[in-house]
Structure 1
Amino acid sequence: MFQAAAKSLVFALNTPISRGILVNIRRYCKETPIKLRISEALSGAELGENVKVEGWVRSVRAQRANLFLHVNDGSSLQSLQIVATSELNDPSLTFGSAVEVTGRLKKSPHQKQPVELEAEQILVVGECNPVDFPFKIKERHGLEYIRHFPHLRCRTNAFSSLLRIRSEAAAAIHSYFKENGFVQIHTPVITSNDCEGAGELFQVEPSGPEKTEEDDYFFSVPTFLTVSGQLHLEVMSGAFSRVYTFGPTFRAENSQSRRHLAEFYMVEAEVSFTHSLEDLMKVMEDVFRSATEHVLARCAADVDLFHKHVTPGHRNDVDAMLKRKFSVMTYTEAIDVLKRSSQTFVFPVDWGCDLQTEHEKHLVKHCGNIPVFVTDYPYNLKPFYARDNLDHPKHTTAAVDLLVPGVGELCGGTLREERLDLLSARLQQAGLEDTYSWYLDLRRFGSVPHGGFGLGFERYLQCILGVDNIKDVIPFPRVSGTCLL
């Protein structure tokens, strides 16, 4: 049957009419340009073919007989050189304008670029007045300057590189958790819980005609933008041994510091059936190493741009972090290090004090400028869910922070208090027993020892790129006093 069908098909294609159709199809396919992204064109995969690229002009150089453009569409740091006759020049063909170019992709005679596009047609899709455009051709604009233009800064090399790095880093983190058996949970953005207990909450209320009275809440109870997905992950850890979430979190913290945002992204994970902080520390370190190695491999040109022109010399610091095992010290040991230091701190140091950024950076420096885990914090410094170290000489909890160069705290985690009597007593002491009655149920029905942590994604990017201000590693920074765009 199959052979008969094949013979019929061959016969049909050999008729004069069918041969004519095939010729026309081949002619149409040959004449129709192949649409490529700039990164695809630079790879040379369609060398010699008629292609079409779309993007934004990064440079224009007109000569008497020829026109040279560099066009970029965001898919690569490197731009594609367009070579055209002067007849294709146009007054609207300026730096920043959007174009569509059709022509033949050829091998470039210049060593610095693998290919170039010999243009047959250049269409200006969107004009750009270079006089009013805040970024100037052949100028290297600093991160602080381009921050004033959140709607345009993605057009610069530095910020487009940052966004590609950010995308790859997020993909690497998801890949790590998937490969290690974690189930992704989409935790809610709107919640009735204050996980951190610090009161730095954005309350959610309807506006307009649906606005409710103060005593008539939309959800029947006060609700807020989430500060952490941890408590919801703990719910899931009663059925899944490994879970994680990756999403936006919010803090109504009136801070203008270089490492705080009102809206930022958090990577949070929860591991069941663990009695050990070492288990959490291993996941923290592995996530950091895995994501960083992935970014260095997949975004080499973009990372090099930062390490050469934005934060010179930082690559050596990143390599050192990857080569050496992270240090570990207890909170008590950390206080001893700080007390012995000759440095004068703004915030006084004593056992029981909360570590400030200046303390954290000093501890990292003390350990050779590599990441350091600080464990066993005082009981009163950690939230109600932190596990009580009953056998510790001082009243501490099974908590751990990961401190990294240039940033300070990157991760914070604890073993969770799974013992119902101790957890109930602490909630009762804080007047939260009724609010978290559901949380106590988690300990009543099949509870297991478990723990988890949160990693600030923007701080991670600051660490590996050496960027000083957290506002420069997020597309649209949200801070108190301003909400541009």
Structure 2
Amino acid sequence: MLGARGGWQALRRCASLPRAQRAVRLRVREALGAREPAGEVKVQGWVRSVRSQKEVLFLHINDGSSLENLQVVADPSLENRDLTFGSAVEVQGKLVKSPHKMQNMELKAETIRVVGPCDIWSFPLKMKERHPLEYVRQFPHLRCRNNTLGSLLRIRSEATAAIHSFFQDNGYVHIHTPIITSNDCEGAGELFQIEVSFKRKIVETHFFNVPAFLTVSGQLHLEVMAGAFTHVFTFGPTFRAENSQSRRHLAEFYMVEAELSFTESLQDVMQVIEDLFKTATDTVLSKCPHDVELFHKYIAPAQKDRLEQMLKNKFVTISYNEAVEILKQASQTFSFKPEWGCDLQTEHEKYLVKHCGEVPVFVINYPYNLKPFYMRDNEDGPQHTVAAVDLLVSGIGELCGGSLREERLPFLESRLQRLGLADAYQWYLDLRKFGSVPHGGFGMGFERYLQCILGVDNIKDVIPFPRFSHSCLL
């Protein structure tokens, strides 16, 4: 396949070669963007539509590289019974100027080979039909053939690259944190425990000599690395055994996590979160304009304006105390009554964003007893809060969670002893004895980020193969 850079120069060089040596593979995206004809080319992809007329045969071909299809024009004699919607084909011919205003180029076919026929009578996706996301979710092995999911997967790919680029451009070291771990970073107990079986017989002894689980977060491992590197990040799968069918939760999802050493300000962490969100989103919008437009036009028509608000405005910052007061004074009736010392529910989070004009909201300084042991004590008297932050966004609620970490050994020892965790986390205490520095970090749910920028209501529709309670298809 030709790369995006230098593709057409390669085609021009090929034009001077003998015909037998000139056949090259061409991506649909490159063909659609071409400004001049080329020599003999070959396109491989799937048929999106077939229209046969008396003097000409029209095909639309897509290979996954673009939302747009490449039009193929051919002699009707090249048509056969296997040339149907959904069939995989290889078309060889010449790229020529198109007479139609809506496209630059079309492929004038000389040969059409059906590589894989498609039984259109049993194929669940129908030509020119816009299937609801709930419908295509039933077919995890086929839904990537759907336009909406195709666009989502291209956006997901570009967003992944944009996030990696952001961190690398800002001097972060990428760390591969383990998927199998012996600790529970969040302390919520929603863990998948790993068991070993041989020929379907469960082995009772621990494979690792201790109970092991699928990771809920790479944070603690990043904190280890933050003792040698000033800026580190990880981006990988995480797991929560939440027995939930909600639109916001999955059993397996991806997390972006970062840790910053030598920082004593929660504002430093918040600035990285805001910069990451805006930089990655700008990149996605520039790289995938047509794919994003599909979602903003057909899935969430109001999301384009909301996203513009997010990108052009400085994120709002309020304290937990202020958040509770705003909620108490709200005219809206909540299912969960807002009270100081209670965690914010999704309905509260959404209201706070709406109250702030649909601009993302940082809520900081949560009650000490609401947060995990590693968050830094603010030492603020009777209220007793920690230097924690959650980023709330429109339609989703919490997108990111972070904090300054407790680097002071006496504070950390005291809290772990009260929780009965001092022995299990002796290694974590050791980090505070050997060159510890003030540090902080955050995690961002990647699927929730995609929901946020695209306006997708259900988190199951922004991941290729959703995993949730009572469902592990494929």
TM-score (norm 2): 0.95
Partner-residue secondary structure (3-state), 1:203: coil
Quote the Cα distance in structure 2 between the aligned partners of 1:292 and 1:359. Answer: 25
Aligned counterpart in structure 1 of residue 386 of structure 2, from 397, 408, 430: 397
Partner of 1:363: 352
Q: CA RMSD in A?
A: 1.3
C-alpha deviation, 1:262, in angstroms: 0.1
Q: Does 1:124 align with 2:114?
A: yes
* 2:213 paired residue number: 224
Take 1:273 and 1:322, find their aligned partners in 2: how far apart are those partners?
Answer: 28
Cα distance, 1:310–1:210 mapped onto 2, change above 3 Å = closer
Q: 2:167 aligns with which of 154, 172, 177?
A: 177
Structure 2 residue 278 is matched with structure 1 residue 296: no
Q: Is the 8 A contact 1:33 1:50 kept in 2?
A: yes
SS at 2:51's partner residue? strand
Q: Which segments of 5 or more consecutive residues in structure 2 lack a partner in the other structure?
A: 1-14
Distance in 2 (alpha carbons) for counterparts of 1:29 and 1:389: 74
The one-letter amino acid of 2:110's match is: E
Larger radius of gyration: 1
Q: State the alpha-carbon separation in 1 of the partners of residues 16 and 396 from structure 2.
A: 59
Task: Give, in angstroms, the shift of residue 30 of structure 1.
Answer: 5.7
Is the CA contact 1:364–1:405 (under 8 Å) kept in the aligned structure 2?
Answer: yes
* Aligned equivalents of 1:210, 1:272: Cα separation in 2: 46
| Unpaired stretches in structure 1, ≥5 consecutive residues | 1-24
Q: What CA deviation, in whole Å up to 9, does each residue of 1:414-471 have, x standing for no partner?
A: 1000110110011011110000000000001001000100000000000000000000
Q: Look up the equivalent residue of 1:417 and give its one-letter code.
A: E
Return the alpha-carbon distance in structure 2 between the equivalents of residues 484 and 45 of structure 1.
44
**Code of the aligned partner of 1:473:** V
Distance 1:72 1:45 in 2: 19
1:18 counterpart residue number: none
- The question of 1:263 aligning with 2:258 is answered no
Q: Deviations over 1:212-235 (max 9, x none)?
A: 643x21000000000000000000
| CA positional deviation for 1:392 | 4.7
1-side partners of 2:78 and 2:400: how far apart? Answer: 55
Q: 2:180 matched to 1:190?
A: yes
Following superposition, the deviation at residue 95 of structure 1 comes to 0.3
| Alignment pair present for 1:317 and 2:301 | no
**Distance change >3 Å, CA 173–CA 391, structure 1 → 2:** same
Pick from 227, 235, 250: which aligns with 1:246?
235
Do the aligned residues in 1 keep the contact of 2:256 with 2:443 (CA within 8 Å)? yes
Aligned residue pairs total 460
- What secondary structure is seen at the aligned counterpart in 2 of 1:217? coil
Provide the rounded CA distance (Å) in 2 between the counterparts of 1:178 and 1:403: 25
**Is contact 1:92–1:127 with CA below 8 Å preserved after alignment?**
yes
CA-CA distance at 1:43 after TM superposition: 2.0
Query: SS in structure 1 opposite 2:58?
Result: strand
2-structure distance, mates of 1:455, 1:369: 19
Native 8 Å contact 1:212 1:218 kept in 2: no
1:111-170 deviation line (CA, Å, top 9, x unaligned):
101100000000000010111111111111111111111110100110000000000001
Matched, 1:328 2:313: no
Task: Tell me the amino acid that sits aligned with residue 143 of structure 1.
Answer: L
Partners of 1:48 and 1:224 lie apart in 2 by: 55
Which residue identity is paired with 2:102? K
Q: In structure 2, how many angstroms separate the alpha carbons of the residues matched to 1:211 and 1:268?
A: 37
Q: Find the counterpart in structure 2 of residue 285 from structure 1.
A: 274
Moved over 2 A (4+): 25-32, 209-214
- Mapped to 2, the partners of 1:358 and 1:101 lie a distance apart of 53
Identity, % of aligned positions: 67
In structure 2, which of residues 50, 53, 58 is the aligned counterpart of residue 68 of structure 1?
58
What secondary structure sits across from 2:383 in the alignment?
coil
* C-alpha deviation, 1:205, in angstroms: 1.4
